[in-house]
Amino acid sequence: MSKKTEAIFPQHDNHQANQVAYGDCPQCNAPLQLKHVGKSSFLGCTAYPKCDYSHSLNTSEVSTLKLIEDSHCPDCEAQLAVKKGRYGMFIGCTNFPSCHFIATNQQQQAASEYEPVDCPSCKTGKLQKRQNRSGKFFYACDNYPKCKHIFNQEPVSKRCEKCGAGIMLNELKNEDSFVCVKPACQHRCYEND
């Protein structure tokens, strides 16, 4: 080290710097230091292996930001609140450990917009609207994994005029346009027809 850097940054005892930065170990009063294992970090005692104290730096505590007046949990009738957690803000039940209800706009919109139709493959299940990891919606049978029938377009309970299939797909390009689910048919019809 040069004389200029020593004047600006005087060298301290490493234990003294750790003691000021992180405090003392609650078990043995030795200074704590920041340790890294893989991609995670934690505070550990400098007297390791004699003292095995460690403290996680990642806290996943959920804090309540605001109670929502005149709102009730659909599961337990407790009041709902705006909360902040590990992955951002959300609306959840105030009766948390016993009730795990979390409201999301996407769940409410998906449930209100779509009416499930019978699965054409297994004939016993219903095609439910689901969302993949990237946020796109798809329609899959609720008898999964026994039935793996899936559509990327919204199935509608409408009979095909050409082949008689009981389900048609709502084309994404035009909401009034429907296509038959059978690949051999591919009959198109319009809502006004």
Domain ranges in the chain are 3-56, 63-103, 108-190
- Cβ atoms of 169 and 182 within 8 Å: the answer is no
CA pair distance 28, 55, nearest whole angstrom: 14
- Which pLDDT score, from 0 to 100, does residue 5 have? 53
- Beta-bridge partners for 85: 88
How do residues 145-169 score in pLDDT, each as one tens digit? Answer: 888 888 888 888 888 888 888 888 8
- The yes-or-no verdict on residue 16 having pLDDT over 60 is no
The band of 69, judged by pLDDT with boundaries at 50, 70 and 90, is confident
First-residue to last-residue Cα distance in the chain: 85
Rg (CA), the chain: 29
Q: Report helix, strand or coil for 111.
A: helix
Of the two residues 7 and 176, the one the predictor is more confident about is: 176
Angle at 155 between CA 152 and CA 159, to 5 degrees: 140
Geometric angle at alpha carbon 53, from 47 and 59, rounded to 5° = 135
CB neighbourhood size of 136 (10 A): 9
Mean pLDDT of 51-72: 82
Most confident range, picked from 110-114, 155-159, 172-176, 188-192: 155-159
pLDDT in tens, 28-60: 988 888 888 887 788 888 888 899 888 887 666
